[in-house]
Amino acid sequence: MDTYGHIPIVAIVGRPNVGKSTLFNRYAGWRRALVADSPGLTRDRIAEELEIQGRAIRLVDTAGLDPAAERGLPAAVQAQAESALEDADAILFVVDGKAGLLPEDDVIARTLRRTRKPLSVVVNKIDDPRRHSDRLLEFYSLGFERLRGVSAEHGGGAFDALEELVDALAEPDTELPVRDSKVPRIALVGRPNVGKSSLMNRLLGEERVVVSEQAGTTRDAIDIAFEYESEPFVLVDTAGLRRPGRREGTGERIGALMAVRALERAQVAVLVVDAEEGLTDQDAHVARLTRDMGVAVVVVANKRDCLDAEGRKKARAGIEDGLRFIEDAPIVSLSALTGAGLKRLLPAVRRVANAASRRIPTAELNRWLGETIARHEPSMARKGPRITPLKFLYASQVGVQPPRFVIFCTDPDSVKVSYRRYLENQLRASFGFEGCALRLHLRGRKASEA
């Protein structure tokens, strides 16, 4: 069985408008080494896998922390926010070098200090630290050892700060959790108030988690084991995900870290969509995150009880159109309120979980490769003035959860994106990888070496 490993999460936190998202985009758009890449994915996501100092990390963007919003709230809410920060392995605390040190920065610093995580202070909007050293001095009063002046807009010092923080991370745990377990671990994900907690309660047949009309009620990840028709499952209800700028309240914003962590250890993500409201760009954003993280997906079109037959048909068509990049994912129309359609959900979950753990024998895989290439041959490889045939030699499956394949060919750089998609689509169709995030890698090898 494949171990998937724990990828350390580095969270970018700080007050609103200090340049956190600009810094995140700087890292995401200027990668020194790319770990996960899928064509057509937008940059406006909350998580990005990078390789820094030879080590894979997952960078997570968060919306601005507003200490004033916590005043007057129960101490439990503040405690849950701090608990959410515990899901980060390291923290990039971004402050505004132009605005200077503000009281809000001190409040946030006290909260971050209690996490006892590796932390670096990034003083943003410092184009030249040598000329603006005076701006940096006051931030040393926050009491953190690692502090650097950077320019998120222009990139100056940005990677130095991240590399220094990654160096402070503990060595990877050698006892890694196993992802391809026989018991499917299901993360219920989606934007707030689409019915995730109601769906959990319906599946369990009891009020096991708090359900509220208020968006962002769920603050923590809750793991519950249960059986359905004598088959075991584990449910994880997560905090609602939204785009960073649209999260409301510190608990919901930091809750995104917990949702990312839940997806990291899940086999299947059940993406809950409000069928009455229709698919939104935020729903698509969460779907991209699940696919980017390699988690198999089942889409739930919830609140079917609010629609007639024609409305349900239109809602399904809208979901299919908006989620074309995961068109392989099954869509289950149901009502968490009444239970209608519920009986189709867990069989679909079991189906995609089995598909994500499927191993294809090497001989069968190479028969598929030969037949697939014969049906549609690739374009010729061009090396300057030379044009040579592009040959695919053999294929091998190297992992599951998600299914990962390596195909050896004579010139990987000459394989067009459209042909890679053809291979992936044929692989999915031929072996039934429904709802799975396939990983297809091309490697070079001379024909004489095959």
Tell me if 9-167 shares its fold with 185-356: yes
Average pLDDT in the 197-223 region?
57
Lowest mean pLDDT among 191-200, 270-279, 368-377, 397-406: 191-200
Lowest mean pLDDT, pick from 22-31, 99-108, 137-146, 290-299: 22-31
Sign of the alpha-carbon dihedral angle for 415, 417, 419, 423: positive
Q: Which of 213, 201, 23 is nearest to 121 (CA)?
A: 23
**Domain chopping of the chain, boundaries:** 9-167, 185-356, 362-449
pLDDT in tens, 105-131: 988 888 888 888 899 999 999 877 666
As a CATH number, domain 9-167 is 3.40.50.300
Rg from Cα positions in the chain: 24
Give the mean model confidence (pLDDT) for residues 14-23.
85
Q: For 350-363, how does the pLDDT look when each residue is reduced to its tens digit (9 = 90+)?
A: 999 999 999 999 99
Domain 362-449 listed as CATH 1.10.260.40: no
Domain 185-356: CATH superfamily is P-loop containing nucleotide triphosphate hydrolases (3.40.50.300)
Of 73-87, 194-208, 429-443, which has the strongest mean pLDDT? 429-443
Write the pLDDT tens digit of every residue in 19-28: 888 898 888 8
- pLDDT band for 302, please (50, 70, 90 cuts): very high
What is the average pLDDT score of the chain?
79
Residue type, 217: T
Please report, as a single letter, which amino acid is at residue 435.
Answer: G
